[in-house]
């Protein structure tokens, strides 16, 4: 386990529990709604997010709700962050994308069949 992951796990374990409702709050402070489907869970940001898409002369700002797909085989995918993996432990769950971006959800448990994905 890398130092960053170890630090995040310790933060997740030290954070007090919150009423869950169906709103999930990320380590960046964004709210997400969860929807269970046959393939896993879909997290959709509560409010639109703004991203600068670098494409040389065709660069632009993209504004839309972020959608993160979490599959039953512990895979993750986002339009902005690409592919990755996620895992869940007593202290919450973490999504780690192949580009190094991580989102933590302290003291929050995912609904559905994805709860069996261990935190690596």
Output the CA angle 19-24-26, nearest 5 degrees: 120
Q: Is the pLDDT of residue 89 over 60?
A: yes
Question: Tens digit of pLDDT for each residue in 30-87?
Answer: 999 999 999 999 999 999 999 888 889 999 998 999 999 999 999 999 998 999 999 9
- 12 CB-near residues (< 8 Å, 6+ apart): 89, 91, 92, 94, 104, 106, 107
Give the CA diameter of the chain. 46
Q: CA-CA distance, 22 to 98, in Å (whole number)?
A: 27
pLDDT given for residue 4 in this prediction: 57
């Amino acid at each position: 386990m890398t130092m960053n992951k170890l630090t995040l796990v310790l933060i997740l374990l030290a954070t007090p529990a919150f009423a869950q409702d169906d709103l999930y709050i990320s380590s960046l402070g964004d709210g997400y709604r969860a929807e269970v489907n046959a393939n896993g869970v879909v997290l959709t940001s509560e409010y639109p997010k703004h991203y600068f898409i670098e494409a040389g002369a065709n660069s632009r700002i993209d504004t839309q709700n972020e959608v993160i797909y979490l599959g039953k085989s512990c895979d993750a995918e986002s339009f902005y962050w690409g592919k990755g993996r996620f895992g869940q432990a007593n202290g919450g769950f973490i999504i780690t994308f192949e580009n190094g971006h991580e989102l933590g959800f302290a003291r929050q448990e995912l609904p559905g069949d994805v709860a069996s994905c261990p935190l690596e």
